[in-house]
Structure 1
């Protein structure tokens, strides 16, 4: 190597992993319960909404998700559900437009 010149650093190659994960992700787990939502919602729940509860692999924690009736969008919190419901009211029930209104940027 010549005096004063530095050797270029080489980044590790990125790409698909060659091994599969040993622990399935949460979305691959079977739900503990599936059914209509049981939370209080002003005006009530419109027909077709589904709530799924998943248990975590470690500990006693549970993850709750709410799914919209037509497009089956997954909402992760009641705050998100309420925002989505407000957007649905503004879009006359169009779930696609409501999703675009509530999408995080």
Structure 2
């Protein structure tokens, strides 16, 4: 499937942003929150009429000490989009529109 990330197990949302809402609601139940570990991305398709897809995955081992390293991680996800296996198209129609590291 061309809307998935290579080598990254991700979960797909039924409603855009539901994982962020659930994470925000759960913040009050934690006494001490560890480092950010949830990465939420929204993928958009170039074709008109195709819905955007929201997905999230959990991350461990990413240096979260600066915004530059987090931006580099989110940027690396754009290169890990699964390539389309068609002979006639060379570019992937799916692009990452936005990303949140939470």
Q: Return the TM-score normalized by structure 2.
A: 0.26
- Of structures 1 and 2, the one scoring higher in RCO (CA 8 A, sep 6+) is 2
Larger Rg: 1
Q: Return the TM-score normalized by structure 1.
A: 0.25
